[in-house]
Amino acid sequence: MKTKKEELNLFHIVWIGFTFVAGITYTANFATILNQAQGQGVGLHIFWIIALVGFITFMCAWTFGKLVKVHPEANGGGSQYVRTAFGKFWGLLMGLLNYAAIPVIGVALLNTMVKANFDEVSSLTGPLKGWGDMVLDLAAFGLYIIAASVIFLGVRKYKLVSTIIGYVTWGITVLLIIFGIVGGAMNLNAGKNGLNIDRGTLDFSSFSKTFNALFFSFCGLETFITTGKNIKNREKNVPISIMIIMFMTTLFYLVFTVIVMLAVTDQFKGNPNLQLFDALNSDFLKKAGPIIIIVCTMLMRFNSSIQVTLFGGSTLEPMASQKFLPNSFKKENKENVPVTGILVTIAALAITYFMFVFVPDLIQGITGDVSVFNFSTIAGVTAIVLLFVYLLILPTAFYQGYKKNIKVNIFEYFGWVLTFICLIFIFVLYFINLIDPFVKENVDNKLQKVVASSFQMIYLFGVFVIAVLLYFVYHKKQVTKLNDKPEELKALQEYEKVFTIVNKPEQVKKSQKLET
């Protein structure tokens, strides 16, 4: 039984959730989606796109918040809620979709942890010409191994490290905002207005690219909310925390985007945050500022890589407990850390990193040419997998609302329907972009885009195939074997009690009447 000290109050939920979701690293895509110097990108349209993404992710997170209140435990998250509504197979598919995003997200974090900050190293000359990316990527992977090792030091030390990094990075962020405001004011005085630009080119392709780039920056709250069993007074605090966190995150992204656009009036490149000091007259700040930002970026990615690895291990454990995976995947140490799941996640991330980062680096170093496949080959997988996750969780909320298992008002239904329509629209645009390289003749880097589209379709198809094989072949066989293992069968039956609805609206009303 948890004591009050072990439970998270509203302040802790908001602080941990906000620092988990928001951060300055979302600007990493500005070089491709917002190049105002050449009139490219979406221009000022980025502001309403940020607001739209904020609304959609809020409604999706709100769905998780509604569902976590009526389940006995938060273990399993979205896969638990989907299984309770639609059955084992769909719960398994949800779990696999969640896990399928982990290696790609991890590689994305490492790809921007170091390399985005050192463009000059990527273009080394002399004996190391062509090997600059390899040097930076090796450094990033070394930092990841250190980050993943923190988990094995124990939950308390992990929380300590995570908390310290959180305070340091947000302290730096506040300073960065101040310097950005000063730089923007100086630009305005000099007649340079970063907001006085062409509204940009907005078509289905640029909108889809921008939406997907920003979508990833808003995601993560639904993962944090699944720790609802550790939240004090969760029926009241979870909805309040979701509203506060998503409002703060959206506001932060809008305000920081204004600051960046005012402070950086030239073309964005690499890590745009490094350019925030260009307008200042201090040579010291122009040299020291980027160093501070590099440290902040690396610390944020370091912290996020720890959380992603831990989440990966936690995603595998429920599937093993339901006999979808071998029992070894649910092995935990004395502090309930899923050791095997974490080791498997580290291995999956390392393999993905080797295939789509190290191998392209080797090809570039040996031949001097860019490989036809690299991280961009799999970069789009994360967004579409998360879209699938939300497209499964929204019908779950509709179903539970229809069955009167959760209390849903007309505004929530309207918001969810609007969100579902938007996600379907983005889903269609994504697949149109996947098909374009195959049907269009005049496509830049056609071979690279064909390879990327092919791999992403194979990756998604593979997730569904694995779900079918695990459920209809492996799981059925394992359940049959339990007839000769009464203790394991009893343990499975006990575990599956979490796939029920508790605290139904009518039950809450009855208990309130009894109390009065």
> Which of 1-10, 300-309, 361-370: highest mean pLDDT?
300-309
Mean pLDDT is lowest, of 2-6, 32-36, 209-213, 241-245, for 2-6
Question: Is residue 4 assigned to a domain?
Answer: no
What would the pLDDT profile of 128-158 be if each residue is shown by its tens digit?
Answer: 666 888 888 999 999 999 999 888 887 778 7
Question: Is residue 41 assigned to a domain?
Answer: yes
Asked whether the predicted pLDDT for residue 513 surpasses 50, the reply is: no
If one compares 388 and 118, the residue with the highest pLDDT of the two is 388
User: How many CB atoms neighbour CB 179 within 10 A?
Assistant: 20
- pLDDT bin (cut points 50, 70, 90) of residue 40 is low
What would the pLDDT profile of 393-411 be if each residue is shown by its tens digit?
Answer: 999 999 999 998 988 999 9
Asked whether the predicted pLDDT for residue 36 surpasses 50, the reply is: no
* Mean pLDDT across 52-75: 82
H-helix or E-strand containing 60?
A: helix 46-68
Angle between helical axes of 381-402 and 204-218 (0-180°, round to 10): 70
What's the pTM value of the predicted model, to 2 decimals?
Answer: 0.86
Report how far residue 167's alpha carbon sits from residue 14's, in angstroms, rounded to the nearest whole number. 14
Question: Is residue 289 assigned to a domain?
Answer: yes
Report how far residue 362's alpha carbon sits from residue 355's, in angstroms, rounded to the nearest whole number. 10
Question: Is residue 278 assigned to a domain?
Answer: yes
Asked whether the predicted pLDDT for residue 502 surpasses 90, the reply is: no
Asked whether the predicted pLDDT for residue 177 surpasses 80, the reply is: yes
Question: Is residue 2 assigned to a domain?
Answer: no
Question: Is residue 3 assigned to a domain?
Answer: no
If you search the block for the tokens 């995603």, which residue do you land on? 315
- pLDDT bin (cut points 50, 70, 90) of residue 420 is very high
- pLDDT bin (cut points 50, 70, 90) of residue 3 is very low
Per-residue pLDDT at 126:
54
If you search the block for the tokens 């350019």, which residue do you land on? 275
Q: What is the mean pLDDT of the chain?
A: 82
State the total domains in the chain.
1
* Mean pLDDT across 18-37: 74
Residue (of 109, 122, 78) closest to 349 by Cα position:
109
Range of the structural domain that residue 271 is part of: 10-435+445-515
Asked whether the predicted pLDDT for residue 497 surpasses 50, the reply is: yes
Supply the CATH number for residue 151's domain. 1.20.1740.10
What would the pLDDT profile of 45-58 be if each residue is shown by its tens digit?
Answer: 889 999 999 999 89
Report how far residue 362's alpha carbon sits from residue 416's, in angstroms, rounded to the nearest whole number. 46
Give 420's strand partners.
none
Question: Is residue 1 assigned to a domain?
Answer: no
Question: Is residue 271 assigned to a domain?
Answer: yes
Question: Roughly how many angstroms between the first and final C-alpha of the chain, as a whole number?
Answer: 27
